């Protein structure tokens, strides 16, 4: 997958080149580029924003620098990709949107600043995404969250691809509790079933604890899940225990 970002602050994306995503870039599983659209301004002061027509607070990003930066991406990459605008009015990002984006071969994010965008910029856009009902100082942090969550679903990004399939929110269940050595940490014992070697019992315990955690912390997720007969029985046990 190729990912492009149009941003006024390209240095903010340096952390994405570390750790797991950095290794994915080194292996060629992820092709990552950031373009400073200030480099494409046509005015002598390199301004990228201006006052809104009709008045109002704040400044708007001008269309010209972003249009021309996008044209440069398209020329270099061969296409502009699936263009995502980070915007509070967009659809809310979640696990399923990350899986959907992971199917794209090329994504370009527009990360804005200031009060908003010249409306004509939306002509470039295929998708508008929001992280939630709050406002950030710019789109960079939102773009980084989406890139990180999406890249986890790409082949060869995670050392163990099963990790992405088993993580929280997959199939609308939160992840079960997990433990590592020692089995006894200052009197805090690992559940016996996890050391029993009985894989069927371990799988049942994990499913039950996933249901317990989801019911206690995110019951809304259970409403969106078609429970099996086994899951209903386990959930009933959980409710009776708690």
Q: Which residues are catalytic?
A: 88, 115, 152, 167
Helix (H, G, I), strand (E, B) or coil at 50: strand
- 133 is known to lie in a ligand binding site: yes
- 94 is known to lie in a ligand binding site: no
Residue 3 CA: distances (Å) to CA of 44, 203, 208 = 30, 37, 39
- 112 is known to lie in a ligand binding site: yes
- 132 is known to lie in a ligand binding site: yes
Residues 6 or more apart in contact with residue 171 via CB below 8 angstroms: 225
Distance, in Å, from the CA atom of 15 to the CA atom of 30, rounded to the nearest integer, reads 15
- 222 is known to lie in a ligand binding site: no
- 158 is known to lie in a ligand binding site: no
Q: What angle do CA 61, 131, 167 make, to 5 degrees?
A: 145
Q: What is the DSSP-derived secondary structure letter of residue 174? A: P
- 81 is known to lie in a ligand binding site: no
Distance, in Å, from the CA atom of 221 to the CA atom of 235, rounded to the nearest integer, reads 13
Helix (H, G, I), strand (E, B) or coil at 191: coil
Binding-site residues from annotation: 112, 131-136
Binding-site residues from annotation for S-adenosyl-L-methionine: 112, 131-136
């Amino acid at each position: 997958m190729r990912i492009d970002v149009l941003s006024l602050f390209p240095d903010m994306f340096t952390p994405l080149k570390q750790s797991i995503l950095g290794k994915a870039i080194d292996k060629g599983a992820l092709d990552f580029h950031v373009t400073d659209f200030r480099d494409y301004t046509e005015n002598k002061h390199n301004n990228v924003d201006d006052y809104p027509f009709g008045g109002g607070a704040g400044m708007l990003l001008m269309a010209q620098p972003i249009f021309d930066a996008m044209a440069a991406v398209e020329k270099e990459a061969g296409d502009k990709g699936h263009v995502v605008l980070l915007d509070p009015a967009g659809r809310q990002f979640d696990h399923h949107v990350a899986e959907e984006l992971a199917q794209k071969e090329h994504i370009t994010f527009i990360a804005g600043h200031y009060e908003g965008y010249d409306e004509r910029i939306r002509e470039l856009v295929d998708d508008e995404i929001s992280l939630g009902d709050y406002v950030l100082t710019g789109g960079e942090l939102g773009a980084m969250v989406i890139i990180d969550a999406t890249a986890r679903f790409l082949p060869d990004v995670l050392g163990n691809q099963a990790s992405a399939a088993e993580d929280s929110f997959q199939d609308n269940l939160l992840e079960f509790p997990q433990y590592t050595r020692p089995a006894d940490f200052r009197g805090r014992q690992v559940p016996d079933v996890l050391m029993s070697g009985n894989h069927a019992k371990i799988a049942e315990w994990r499913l039950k604890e996933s249901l317990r955690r989801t019911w206690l912390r995110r019951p809304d997720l259970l409403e969106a899940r078609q429970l099996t007969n086994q899951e209903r029985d386990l959930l009933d046990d959980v409710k009776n225990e708690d």
